[in-house]
A and B are shown apart, each in its own frame.
Chain A
């Protein structure tokens, strides 16, 4: 008893831990169907620490042993769990249906009870009653007909209602109460409509971790044969395919003779085909509300990070841009994020590195996108922030993550690379000359800026110069024509000119001492002048008509007389020598007379 108190006192120290867990108190029976007289075991297990265990009243059974108290304490990863067990070995007395009532125990002042157990007692044989349980994983004495109850496969899924892309865990479990000799997986589930990833797969069920589990009051040896993580890929009712395996189990066989019966060693190896029942999972579409257009299909919880290896570089150098999406969920199904690179960057498809782990029954992982970029031209660019949206099935909300924007300063690249890059684009480079044409060294066209001669005032003035000149010339000609249209007037206007010509001729004759020529010229000068001036034909000219015409124009009488004297003198001098007056004097006199008449008229 001392030991028991010691253990209890230790357990009290752990009380706070134990309080955190809810205690469970279960009852189990090694077999729900027993033969009369057969021994069987009833276990009451408390998952925690309790006191004042009160066994039920085993009416209709004979208690062969018990209560056998056992305690265990396990510590896994710092979590300590305590369990207490009370077991009884009973023997059925009479056939019929019996119920073992609840056992009770106090845990922290609360009373806990077990479920009642139903036991069906059939008519038994004394051999069976005698038989003792050999081991924990005992092969039960079940009839072959009941084999399906003794060994079966079950599939369980963590959730039967899920969103597309939400993680589900499917576990295929083998329940057995019989010994397994051989096993073989027949058909692995195909899991159509799911993306699946095996979490644990045991080639042999025997390699799995076995544990005991009570199902409907019956203790089974249970192993998780296969655990799979699945992600539904489409909506609707999807079926999780059954899992099938073939086992060879050892079952008790009916005795053929008395000897066999006596030794009780009659077993039979039987082949059993097992198949788990299919499970229907209802898959919902992701809600449309708040769903971004570029939704990548990520469901779970994620984080996003991005970085750029350089902030400044030269054109044609390379740049690495890394985007990392980390999280729990369907990371392997996430589509590449759309990255807003400056359109002028040469970009290549990203190198994607996936890292997945399946720890704790969930897919953790990261996707690393490595983009190689080559800016081809100088300038200041910005790599736009990346937006990554995922659906969180726990909150049923879309979450959008945004990375930072990165400025990139691209300096002018090296010329060589630049040119070669261009040369590949442009095929006709080689067809042309190799260099630009030389500068112009003579320049006579330097003008002031902003000045355009064409259309300026000076331009129009110069343009108008022509017409103005022409109009002036035109009117001058008109005037000239009008001026010359009256012949008499023209003649009279020209008279003095002609006279002057004759006088000049006379002067020339005088210089050559040709007297007759001189007087002839003088005479012609006067007569010509008068003929033109007075508009009298040359032939009609005589002294009287001249005088009359002059008088008509009211010329001074003395001047007329002077003219007549002068005419006589010239007339005479042509034929006879003149004395008393020199030729020069005659010339002067004639000239004066003509001038005077010109003045008078």
Chain B
């Protein structure tokens, strides 16, 4: 956990992009947490919602909103918020646990089509750290690498020269890996549009028309991949590989 602090400290110092002056927002967030602790889940959700509507977001915020929604028995919303949090912090264990737990409360049980183990590893790998962590890490690695390489240029001691050269090369490799991970993760979330079903029961049709043949049924809270959109209908794909069209009003994209 400590490295995170360092990273965020670095972020704060190095980047004017990070917004300051968010004291009010922080207070709202804390207020939401207090309400949650008092089991006033609706109030907590409202407070979190204010944070969100004032233009801020974070994995923790979405996670807490998911928890509050879960406690008010709004499973589809809970899953939606959890997935939002997951997107911001894909490696977070708490988030992933709650996603799994909330999914037990949904009506559909979809057996995931077995993924090729390399693909699975790859996805786990690129989703190991959040995108912000990856960006900070990559900058740190590359910067440190070049600093060491500069040191290599100026030092006269052979041992130091050797050590700094190899360490910098190692850092470059790490830096490139983190950049690649970040790039792939961004692309993954970009191409991998997902949505949560919000209607109680949805009939999946074979074509994007209301009168089309019904293929199968889905229920609130199920996560689907969004393939394409056409005339108020979206083509969805389930984890088990089934595809079909549903009305765009029945889902909310993550």
Binding site for B on A (CB under 8 A): 315, 342-344, 376-379, 381, 410, 412, 415, 419, 422, 425-426, 428-429, 432-433, 435-449, 451-456, 458-459, 462-463, 465-467, 469-470, 473-474, 477
Contacts and interface: CB of A to CB of B under 8 A. Distances in A.
A379 B104 contact: no
A445 B217 contact: no
A386 B29 CA distance: 55
A141 B70 CA distance: 102
B57 A447 contact: yes
Contact of A378 (B36, B51, B200): B200
A319 to B, nearest CB: 15
Interface in B80-106: 88-89, 94, 97-98, 100-102, 104-105
B146 A467 contact: yes
Contacts, number: 164
B63 A439 contact: yes
B64 A458 contact: no
A406 to B, nearest CB: 17
Nearest to A425: B109
A169 to B, nearest CB: 45
Contact of B61 (A378, A443, A474): A443
B15 interface: yes
Interface residues of B, number: 71
Summarize A's interface: helix, strand, loop or mixed.
loop
Nearest to A455: B186
B114 interface: no
Interface string B2-35: 0001001001001111110010011001100100
A394 B46 CA distance: 70
A437 B56 contact: no
Given A439-B36, A448-B56, A454-B186, A469 B147 contact: yes
A469 B146 contact: yes
B244 interface: no
B5 to A, nearest CB: 8
B58 A445 contact: yes
A479 to B, nearest CB: 12
9 A-B pairs with least C-beta separation: A466-B146, A379-B200, A378-B200, A440-B60, A377-B200, A454-B135, A344-B201, A445-B58, A377-B201
Interface stretch (B119-127, B149-157, B227-235): B149-157
A284 to B, nearest CB: 35
A419 B214 CA distance: 27
B149 A470 contact: yes
A465 B175 CA distance: 14
26 contacts: A315-B200, A343-B214, A343-B217, A378-B200, A378-B220, A419-B105, A428-B104, A439-B33, A439-B68, A441-B33, A443-B29, A444-B8, A445-B60, A445-B89, A447-B19, A449-B52, A453-B131, A453-B135, A454-B135, A454-B182, A455-B183, A455-B186, A459-B139, A462-B15, A466-B145, A469-B147
B131 A446 contact: no
A59 to B, nearest CB: 84
Contacts of A381: 201
